[in-house]
């Protein structure tokens, strides 16, 4: 019995040490990425082993079309400048819809998606969500909003082996991220939830139906983008 208890305590200590190492690693990377672009993400490594393709060119936010910035915010996180990593209002709306039997939809902010892309795994699950939330709060506390969006746009998956706005613009439309038109930007933003299933060019029925909606929302986004201005 003593041996079992001793082995259990040793296992607990090992797990706690492993958790501490991971937390310290995350903390160090969050501080480092405040100034240095992430070289890769866990998803990139997984996809590379799956398909052997990888296209990514990190560019600063000033080399990304403002149309794409507006489109991504309109599609993924319209209150990006108003929350602190977690959109409590969106979470409340999602819970309310679930209670009314409308299904459980995601309420992930760009900060949460950036945390997931950089440090966690894809797919659902409460464990990932439980880790994603404090990571998003930490990112929002350490990084300026502009940096959070810059990193998100630099690592987001936009197709098979396509990561970041620059690679996405060139793969789907043959132009740089800076040269994207409003329509092209809306098409790219529309496929973010399922970039390996949906196409931006030519768009399928669903993506085509989303583009006019996003274009209309993009017109109204200017008033909500104050946090992205350079200090």
| Domain range summary for the chain, segments of one domain joined by + | 1-32, 33-228
The per-residue pLDDT for 105 is: 53
Task: Point out the least confidently predicted range of 88-97, 108-117, 172-181.
Answer: 88-97
Is 91's pLDDT higher than 90? Answer: no
Q: Per-residue confidence at 111, pLDDT binned at 50, 70, 90?
A: very high
The fraction of the chain above a pLDDT of 70, given in percent, is 91
pLDDT in tens, 19-78: 888 888 888 899 999 999 999 999 999 888 887 777 788 899 999 999 999 999 999 999
For 163, list phi and psi in degrees, rounded to 5: -130, 130
Q: If 0-12 CB within 10 Å is exposed, 13-18 middle and 19+ buried, where does residue 49 land?
A: exposed
The per-residue pLDDT for 55 is: 79
- E strands along the chain, which residues? 55-56, 162-163
The per-residue pLDDT for 106 is: 61
* pTM listed for this prediction: 0.90
> Stretch 201-205: mean pLDDT, rounded?
95
CA 9 – CA 11 distance, rounded (Å): 5
The per-residue pLDDT for 101 is: 60
Instruction: Find the farthest-apart pair of alpha carbons in the chain and give their distance in angstroms, rounded.
Output: 70
CA 128 – CA 120 distance, rounded (Å): 7
Q: Per-residue confidence at 8, pLDDT binned at 50, 70, 90?
A: confident
Cβ atoms 177, 167 nearer than 8 A: no
For 153, list phi and psi in degrees, rounded to 5: -70, -15
The per-residue pLDDT for 214 is: 97
Of residues 55 and 175, which shows the higher confidence score? 175
Of residues 158 and 87, which shows the higher confidence score? 158
Kindly state which CATH superfamily the domain 33-228 is placed in: Biosynthetic peptidoglycan transglycosylase-like (1.10.3810.10)
Q: Per-residue confidence at 124, pLDDT binned at 50, 70, 90?
A: low
Using CA atoms, how far residue 53 sits from 49, 104, 115, 159, 162, in Å, is 9, 33, 23, 11, 8
Q: Per-residue confidence at 104, pLDDT binned at 50, 70, 90?
A: low
């Amino acid at each position: 019995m003593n041996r079992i208890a001793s082995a259990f305590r040793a296992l607990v200590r090992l797990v706690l040490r492993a958790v501490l190492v991971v937390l310290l690693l995350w903390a160090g990377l969050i501080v480092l990425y405040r100034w240095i672009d992430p070289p890769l993400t866990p998803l990139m490594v997984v996809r590379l082993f799956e398909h052997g393709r990888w296209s990514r060119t990190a560019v600063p936010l000033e080399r990304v079309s403002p149309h794409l910035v507006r489109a991504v915010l309109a599609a993924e996180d319209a209150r990006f400048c108003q929350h602190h990593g977690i959109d409590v209002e969106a979470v409340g709306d999602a819970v309310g819809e679930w209670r009314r039997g409308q299904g459980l939809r995601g309420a992930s902010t760009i900060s949460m998606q950036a945390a997931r892309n950089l440090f966690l795994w894809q797919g659902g699950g409460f464990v990932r969500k439980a880790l994603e939330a404090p990571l998003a709060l930490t990112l929002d506390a350490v990084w300026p909003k502009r940096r959070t969006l810059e990193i998100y746009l630099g690592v987001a998956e936009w197709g098979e082996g396509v990561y970041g706005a620059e690679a996405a613009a060139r793969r789907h439309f043959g132009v740089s991220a800076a040269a994207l038109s409003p329509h092209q930007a809306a098409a790219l933003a529309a496929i973010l939830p399922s970039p390996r299933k949906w196409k931006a060019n030519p768009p399928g029925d669903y993506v085509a139906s989303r583009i006019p909606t996003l274009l209309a929302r993009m017109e109204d986004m200017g008033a909500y983008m104050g946090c992205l201005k350079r200090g």
